[in-house]
Amino acid sequence: MAYPAKIDRKRILAAALRLLARRGLGGMSLRAVATSLKIAPNALYRYFADHAHLEAAVGAEVSRMLYSDLLKAKRPDDAARSIRDLAVAYLKFARRHALLYEALLIPRPASGAEAVAPEQLWLFVVEQVGRLTGKARAPDAALALWGFLHGTAALQSAGRLGAGKRASGIEFGLSAWLAAAGPPGVAR
């Protein structure tokens, strides 16, 4: 019998992400991951206590991927332009990685390794939003922006933004958010 190369947490996560990208959350079971790695399912329990722990780790990895894309879109010199570019990067990520994007909504643990990346992503968004709104309003404004982007990504994923649904509607929503986020009377 041929034995697979050394199994570690990194290889297991990579296999889980490949399955997620092909089959979505429903197709990413411990058994499916083990089968893809040609190992017995119980070998995974050394690294993940159960399916929920594997999902949390995958959600954290997808958060890291999105965070990396958002970092590249950040514009340090223009906060409003940065928000627009971050929104474009977010929607592009959701479109390009539709099945991976689902993992962003996996409930994360309150602490531990799997809580770090989603929290880092959230704090980055709050920081960028705070450049426009100030620190006090940043968490609420970030939640509103994230809700708008997630709703748009969900419509995009469901094919509801096709013919007859103009991209200018997304621009309208983002412009409205920017107008509300900035100081009163300042158009963006």
Question: Using an 8 Å Cβ cutoff, are 182 and 188 in contact?
Answer: yes
The ranges assigned to domains in the chain are 1-48, 60-181
Model confidence, pTM: 0.89
CA–CA dist 63, 115 (Å, integer): 10
Residue-level pLDDT at 188: 46
Tell me how long the chain is.
188
Residue-level pLDDT at 1: 40
Task: Tell me which residues of the chain have a pLDDT lower than 50.
Answer: 1-3, 185, 188
Task: List, in sequence order, the alpha helices (H) in 43-184.
Answer: 51-73, 79-96, 98-101, 113-133, 138-157, 167-181
CA–CA dist 124, 103 (Å, integer): 19
Residue-level pLDDT at 84: 96
**Domain 1-48 indexed as CATH 3.40.50.720:** no
Token pair in block for residue 53? 């722990």
Q: Identify the CA nearest to 146 among candidates 128, 162, 172, 158.
A: 128
Question: Using an 8 Å Cβ cutoff, are 179 and 187 in contact?
Answer: yes
Look up the CATH superfamily of 60-181. Tetracycline Repressor, domain 2 (1.10.357.10)
